[in-house]
Amino acid sequence: MTVAAQSSSTGKTRKRHFWTMERRDALAGYLFIAPQLIGIITFVLIPLGLVFWYSLHEWNVLAQTFRFQGLGNYQALLSDPGLPQVLGATVLFSVGLVVFNMSLALLLAVLLDQKLKGITVYRTLFFSPVVVSLVAWTIVWSFLLQNNGGINAILALFGVEGPNWLREPTTAMISVIVVQVFKNVGLNMILFLAALQGVPRELYEAARVDGTPAWAQFTRITMPMISPTILLTSIITIVGSLQVFAQIAVLTQGGPGMSTTVLVYYLYQQAFQFHKFGYGATLSILLFLIVAALTFAQWQMRRRLVFYEN
């Protein structure tokens, strides 16, 4: 294919090929990223745009009406009496999950970083819940946490009368957090383990020569060296905690009262149970903004809190 002509030094015009090496390379590059790009456009950007578009409408699915109402849903969001409680439950869940999950994951990673016999078996055991079906895992826990379930039966062996875990506001939230932590702690544990094994051993040797206590080694060597991983896992865990749904749906259905109604579950109720798809879309925009703001804030904090060797 030729599209252009150029004068040569001899004065004759010479046809220039359109498919230059650079263009071929560029085309190859675009073709290589095309499947991913099409996927992102189709399954991320277009739905995101549609969600925003829906949030500007009142959509009655049964009546098949779809009416533009501008910022009406956003005004309803600001005056929604249930929203403060929902956001409170969301914050409580996220803080509880992040603190418990990351502390336990780090503790397990440190323990499993030791040179012990059968350590691979322990690592596999702690990681195995990650690959179990979430709903199946939660259903099993719902039986264990019933008033006449397995947990209270074990407590009764020690003469302890356990609470009605899923029927009291405080214990219901704790139960949901614990179930989620045990499900996913293995993932953070593996990431921490990989980070721990990447810490140069000579740093510890030098510290030992200097007589540095173990706790100081941990706080002054280990923590700074694995801080990039801590940042990564904290972002993953916080974003994940804001998107919790199946555990709430199976264990508590948002109750008792609204004590475990977190934002995603509330969004699901409004859109799919109460058929308020426009308002549900508005809530999902709110969730998007919260996640984006938190991720941005964490990313900004990396300069102060994260140590990079280079």
Give 1's contacts (C-beta < 8 A, 6+ positions apart): 17, 18, 19
Specify the stretch interacting with another protein by CB under 8 A; choose among 8-16, 131-139, 146-154, 236-244. 146-154
Minimum distance from residue 259 beta carbon to another protein (Å): 9
| CB of 242 closer than 8 Å to CB of 94 | yes
Rule CB under 8 A: say whether 148 interacts with another protein: yes
Closer Cβ to another protein, 19 or 272, answer by number: 272
| CB of 72 closer than 8 Å to CB of 89 | no
Specify the stretch interacting with another protein by CB under 8 A; choose among 8-16, 94-102, 218-226, 270-278. 270-278
Listing DSSP states for 68-96 in one string gives E-TTHHHHHHHT-TTHHHHHHHHHHHHHH
Please list every residue from 60 through 119 that binds another protein, using CB under 8 A.
60-64
Rule CB under 8 A: say whether 255 interacts with another protein: yes
Instruction: List the Cα angle 256/262/265 in 5-degree steps.
Output: 95
Task: Give the DSSP letter of residue 192.
Answer: H
- Sole binder of another protein in the list 273, 308, 309, 310 (CB under 8 A): 273
- Establish whether the linkage from the previous residue to 35 is cis, with ω within 30° of 0: no
Minimum distance from residue 255 beta carbon to another protein (Å): 5
Rule CB under 8 A: say whether 155 interacts with another protein: no
Rule CB under 8 A: say whether 53 interacts with another protein: no
Beta bridge partner(s), residue 57: 68
Rule CB under 8 A: say whether 162 interacts with another protein: no
| CB of 111 closer than 8 Å to CB of 192 | no
Closer Cβ to another protein, 234 or 252, answer by number: 252
Q: Point out which residues bind another protein (CB under 8 A).
A: 59-64, 143, 146-149, 164-167, 253-258, 269, 272-275, 277
